[in-house]
Amino acid sequence: MKDIGVKRVFERMRGIYTPVTDLRRRLLMETVRFILDKKDPSEIEALPYDIIEMGKPTYRCCSYRELSIVKQRIRLAFGLAPVDEKAHTSLFKDIEKAFTSEKVITTPLVNVIKAACEKCPEDQVIVTDKCQACMAHPCSIVCPRNAISFPDDKAHIDQEKCIKCMKCVQVCPYSAITRMVRPCAEACGVQAIDSDEEGYARIHQEICVSCGLCTVSCPFAAISDKSEIAQVTHALMEHNERSNHQKLYAIVAPSFTGQFGVKVTPEMIFEGIRRLGFDRVMEVAYGADHDTVILAEKFKEEQGTFLGTSCCPSWVMTAKSAYPDFAGNIAQSFTPMVETALKIKESDANAKVIFIGPCIAKKYEALTEEVAGYVDYVLTFEELAALFVAYDIDLPTLEQSPAIKDASALGRGYANASGVGTAIIRTAEEEFGITDIKFEKADTLSACLDMLKGIAKGETHPDLVEGMACPGGCVGGPGTLASPSTAARHVARFAAAADSVFPNFEEEGTKS
């Protein structure tokens, strides 16, 4: 699968507020309100009716199918796995276990909701009604397998013979032939999605790297990740009621700026997070600065082989799995999320740290034994937006918070593709005089695999390799609100406003 295909399917619906977007966000918001109203778990059966109206199906053939889908999504919103409906058990079985501030989610994080899946064809080249059965029929002439015939005055493709070379698509004068691919599978850069025996989408969890791009590529909302929004809401309620004296720290990914509209400044976002009840808010770009220095120093120590970045968990898992011989080339450093959490835990070992960002893979990272002690919960920007709505926090009306001074311009630039590599290269030049660093980058996992393939074959010889799972870098993550292009501009603007270009830990500045 080519990188262009992944980007095309992912970007097709980005920035458009579709019914899928509306359902996903309203469900998260109503889940938070249900908890804030201190309703008993036994009342959960009423929650779906705050989201859909029975008798008036909006998205599906009937209200009962919609009800089933919403119930499954509520389970995921509470951090629980979907229920197999063939088991004839309640879809809210054990839901009371999720009414807690303790961690609930487990792997697998990304799940198919079968009731929502429309059994899309996996991959077919098809003839549409635009076909005119023209006399030239160039499609059949260029077909290398003689897969095209004209039994009914219209081109017909024998799917058993078709090898999907796309030559017929290229030559058809009416653009009447197209390739139809399951959107979730096309978005998956590691080919972890196919169809089960019944035709439903199936995720091979042993291959899946939790990038989450399938969750925002399915136009039927049939794939979703587990959320920690319910547990974070409980933690905030306990904290605000002073029944829990642990301090709550929010650490915010560099891609946050621009996610909540052009009228909302970075300082307004930080102020909104504080008003939820957090004791302190901090840029994860601070941890990016630490990683920049660590990786720049590695160039000084270990020149001669390429160094791979380590800030994207999905990229790291993909690289190590597909090219195990390159595993040692991936930097053995913590991600910016963990570096920032470490800073907080050093001064407050009992703190609860909540990472807020664009990424589903960070939820996976926070479950690993190495990281679990540092990061307590992970939320996406979409989940943060649901909290703002449920708590009646209107960001554009908030006063500006103190200036944010946690990080350098280079650290803030990590959110955009090539930002990590640029930070390392410029710091290596500035601090150690290392020049002429050969740099390669790729965004989307299919492009990352192509890049590694070229290195393995000896076609390229980079010194530094940056891998990102999402189109455009972190700004294209599945948990974002803004389009990748819009977010990228805001990231660049916020980076330019930093007090310093390079990381500086001698005087770390005033923390927000």
Alpha helices of 336-461 — where are they, by DSSP H? 336-347, 361-365, 381-390, 409-412, 419-432, 445-456
What is the per-residue pLDDT across 382-401, written as a single tens digit (0 to 9) for each? 999 999 999 999 999 998 77
Question: Do 49 and 57 meet the contact criterion of CB atoms below 8 Å apart?
Answer: no
State the Cα–Cα distance between residues 251 and 355, nearest whole angstrom.
Answer: 5
List for the chain the helix, strand, coil content (%; round to 5).
Answer: 45, 10, 45
Least confident of 89-93, 202-206, 349-353: 89-93
Three-state secondary structure call for residue 500: coil
pLDDT digits (tens, 9 = 90+) for 438-477: 999 999 999 999 999 999 999 999 999 999 999 999 999 9
pLDDT for 9: 47
Per-residue pLDDT averaged across 82-95, rounded? 88
Question: What is the predicted pLDDT for the residue at 509?
Answer: 40
Query: Which single residue is written with the structure tokens 């029929």?
Result: 137
Query: Of 261, 199, 249, whose CA–CA distance to 379 is shortest?
Result: 249
Half-sphere exposure for 307 (CA within 13 Å, toward CB):
27
Residue 339: which of 255, 378, 283, 299 has the closest Cα?
A: 283
Q: Is 47 helix (H, G, I), strand (E, B) or coil?
A: helix
Yes or no: say if 104 and 98 are a contact pair by the CB < 8 Å rule. Answer: yes
- The pLDDT of residue 245: 77
Q: What is the pLDDT of residue 443?
A: 93
Give the pLDDT score at 1.
37
Closest of 78, 77, 109 to residue 96, by C-alpha: 78
The pLDDT of residue 188 is above 50: yes
Calculate mean pLDDT across residues 141-162: 94
DSSP letter at 135 equals: S
Average pLDDT over residues 117-122: 90
How many CA atoms lie less than 13 Å away from 177 in the CB half-sphere? Answer: 24
* H helical segments located in 189-335: 229-240, 266-276, 285-301, 313-322
Domain architecture of the chain: domains with CATH: 3-119+186-230 (no CATH), 123-181 (3.30.70.20), 246-496 (3.40.950.10)
* Residue 386 · residue 481 · CB < 8 Å: no
Please give the structure tokens belonging to residue 150.
Answer: 């004209």
pLDDT, average across residues 171-196:
94
Beta bridge partners of 330: 308
Tokens of 441: 């980058």
Q: What is the pLDDT of residue 255?
A: 97
357 three-class SS: strand
Note the pTM of the prediction, 2 decimals: 0.92
What pLDDT sits at residue 4?
45
DSSP string covering 300-343, please?
HH-TTS-EE--S-HHHHHHHHHH-GGGGGGB--S--HHHHHHHH
Question: Cα–Cα distance between 139 and 130 in angstroms, integer?
Answer: 14
Tokens of 302: 């270990």
Q: Kindly give the interhelix angle for 445-456 and 3-11, rounded to the nearest 10 degrees.
A: 170
26 SS3 class: helix
* pLDDT for 202 beyond 50: yes
36 pLDDT higher than 50: yes
Mean pLDDT of 120-133: 92
What is the dihedral sign for C-alpha 155, 159, 163, 169? Answer: positive
Distance, in Å, from the CA atom of 466 to the CA atom of 258, rounded to the nearest integer, reads 24
489 pLDDT band, cuts 50/70/90, is: very high
Q: Strand, coil or helix: what is 398? A: coil
Q: Which tens digits make up the pLDDT trace of 283-302?
A: 999 999 999 999 998 877 76
CB crowding 245-274: b at 16 or more within 10 Å, else e = eeebbbbbbbbbbbbbeeebbbbbbbbbbb
- pLDDT at residue 6, rounded to an integer: 45
The β-bridge partners of 283 are 252
122 vs 103: CA distance, rounded Å: 36
Find how far residue 468's CA is from the centre of its chain.
Answer: 11
Residues 6+ apart with CB under 8 A from 370: none
The residues, any chain, with a CB within 8 Å of residue 330's CB and separated by 6 or more, are 308, 309, 310, 316, 319, 320
Looking at residues 409-429, what average pLDDT do you find? 97
What CA–CA distance (Å, rounded) separates 391 from 452?
Answer: 46
State whether residue 473 is helix, strand or coil.
strand
Q: How confident is the model at residue 116 (pLDDT cuts 50, 70, 90)?
A: very high
Question: Given pLDDT bands bounded at 50, 70 and 90, which one contains residue 511?
Answer: very low
pLDDT band at 243 (very low <50, low <70, confident <90, very high): confident
Burial class (CB in 10 A: 0-12, 13-18, 19+), 152: exposed
